[in-house]
Chain A
Amino acid sequence: MIQTMTTASNIGSYEERQKNFNWSVAEKELEYRKGDIINIGWYCSDRICLQGKGNKTALHYEGFGGVEKKYTFNGVRLAGNTTGAFLRDLGIKDEDRVCLFMDRIPELYFSFLGVLKIGAIVQPLFSAFGDESLFVRLDNAGTRAIITQRKHLPKVRKIIDRLPSLEFIIIVDHHYSKELETREVAFSLEDSEPVENFEIFPTRAESPSVLHYTSGTTGQPKGVRHVHYSLISQYLTTKWVLDLRDDDIYWCTADPGWVTGTSYGIIGPWSLGVTQCVLDTGFSAQAWYRFIEKYRITMWYSAPTAIRSLMKAGDEIIKDFDLSSLRHLASVGEPLNSEAVIWSERIFGKPFLDTFWQTETGSIMITNFPGMKVKPGSMGKLFPGITGAVLDPQTFEPINEPGKIGLIAFRPDWPAMMRGYWNNDEKFREKFVNGWYLSGDRSGIDNEGYYWFTGRDDDVINTGGHLVSPFEVESALLEHPAVGESAVVAKPDEVNMEVVKAFVTLKPGFTASSDLELEIMNYIRKRLSPMAMPQEIEYMDKLPKTRSGKIMRRLLHAREWGEETGDISTLEND
């Protein structure tokens, strides 16, 4: 057991907060009253400037090759205004979907605020997505505009003809020597006159704000619809869990293509007026440690895969860097193994605190708090105001026996809870039973209220903190000319926890070979994403199926994990 933080934390006493909790504490601090206008774009920039912090640094950006940029909160406010004005001039209006498809460049962060300021819905997508992944999400959302970079244009151009709703492709780094194609329009913040006065759209608590896509076991990815009132949860969890204070220098390593990168990589820190840093390069332990040293980062929010990669890089290189500025560390995305917690305590003098939440929850639900004793390997306790339980999988009633495994569930009454899946009410309804929101994860709760994650309740693959749908990969595999049948499961991995493994049968006329394996891997990587690419493909003569012809993915999964195969009475025999 590890005791964290000896100085006073923002949350103070967890027990006291739990006892007297009401979300109005955040509303009061944000000077929000029921029925008021609430706009995340305004809260993250204009309001901070009105508090007299306009000249404070909001963003330290560093790209590859030492490209550095620095922006004040006033600079962020103007950039958000200017982007918003540009979109409004194009005719983008409230509730239109605007996709952000960029690397972690400053324009991504400013566009996020700009889209929200005009009342449109921001749809961030990970820039490593392949053209088919991009198409499916833009098509589902009926996206009207996409803001992107030159380097990602080929993917957009490949699918544009199938997307009649997509009217504008906005390129933020267009080379004027190049021709623009149909529906393309150039927009450069640097070349635009900053818009000082901007009329912000009067969004209310339930106005839609962010649409993040997430993968499930079956069906296509689902668009998780959030509202501007989510700010209340995101602000307070940032303050109490990430413990951000006015003089902190914060680094969230998540990409805003995923929910952590927006809830805690934009909204949380900027609504608190805290300086944050963004490093837009590939991963290397040296580069990360140098970044912490250079900007004197105090709060670091990262992911288990990254932490395990740092562990793998060894302790020796850490000696070359001064990391004494770090005062608080937290982690999200996958379960944080106890070895990583103990390692960080030994190396940095403080443990990474695990936090648990999802795209659907919008904000942290179960967590280790600064000041509380940490049980390495545990997810921690419920955030104050959250009613949670583990449910019996048969009865959906709460389990009261300590340590007994059940389904993690929450009463859906916190501000950042999703309001629906885009165009998919049926899937949304399926997430609720007896008034509980079912997270799809399993755990036990010990006698002190700590949650202990045991696994997912479905076949979704969590690879390096990214959720990959086996269905999506299987469907894409079937479109490869050589593949007859496919089954996709998670395979254990030392760094990424799980990686994608595919089992395939080949169509007549095709022969199994390692060249074909590479061809299929690259096909999936470009079509879906690098995370979805099978790291291994196993050829089979036939896949295990039930007598009714359904592929028994469970058997293949059990084999990969060295587990019992369970009931195989329905397995089809030759």
Chain B
Amino acid sequence: MEDIKDIILQYVIKEYIDDEDEKITYDTPLISSGHVDSFSMVSLLVFLENKFKIKIPPSKATPEAFDSVNRIVALVNEYMK
């Protein structure tokens, strides 16, 4: 569980956060804050599907479901079962 969380958090920081002073936590809003835009969400989705060998239906890949690392983890867990 922690592994998944950290893998996603580190990926988000590496790929989407330019400002090294920006503190990103598991609960930091990603989409609604503007850190990750709707176009970039697609690459995040591809990352999750590749990394965790899952398929997330487009209807579930919503801005709300991607709005924090914790929410993404919940979504990933749903499809890893």
Contacts and interface: CB of A to CB of B under 8 A. Distances in A.
Interface stretch (A45-53, A181-189, A278-286, A438-446): A278-286
A287 B46 contact: no
Interface string A332-368: 0000000000000000000000000000000000000
Contacts of B35: 282
A175 B29 CA distance: 23
B50 A283 contact: no
Nearest to B33: A64
User: Which of B30, B31, B43, B47 has the most chain A CB within a 10 Å cutoff?
Assistant: B43
B39 A282 contact: no
B18 A281 contact: no
Interface residues of B, number: 26
A68 to B, nearest CB: 16
A155 B18 contact: yes
B78 interface: no
A518 B46 contact: yes
Interface stretch (A469-477, A528-536, A556-564): A528-536
A26 B33 CA distance: 40
A70 interface: no
A65 to B, nearest CB: 8
Nearest to A150: B19
Contact of A514 (B22, B31, B39, B46): B46
Interface string A66-110: 000000000000000000000000000000000000010000000
B34 A281 contact: yes
Contact of B33 (A155, A282, A530): A282
Given A175-B21, A514-B50, A518-B50, A283 B38 contact: yes
5 contacts: A128-B37, A282-B33, A464-B39, A525-B39, A533-B40
Given A150-B19, A151-B22, A521-B46, A530 B32 contact: no
Interface of B: 15, 18-22, 29-40, 42-43, 46-47, 49-50, 63-64
Complex A-B, nearest 6 residue pairs according to Cβ-Cβ distance, in ascending order: A151-B19, A530-B39, A282-B34, A64-B33, A530-B40, A521-B43
Contacts of B22: 151
A150 B46 contact: no
B34 A103 contact: yes
Contacts of A10: none
Contact of B32 (A284, A533, A535): A284
Interface residues of A, number: 32
A545 interface: no
A282 B19 contact: no
B30 to A, nearest CB: 8
A152 interface: yes
Contact of B39 (A152, A287, A517, A535): A535
A518 to B, nearest CB: 5
A65 B32 CA distance: 10
User: Which of B15, B29, B32 has the most chain A CB within a 10 Å cutoff?
Assistant: B32
Contacts of A535: 39, 42
Contacts of B46: 514, 517-518, 521
Interface in A98-155: 103, 128, 150-152, 154-155
Nearest to A175: B21
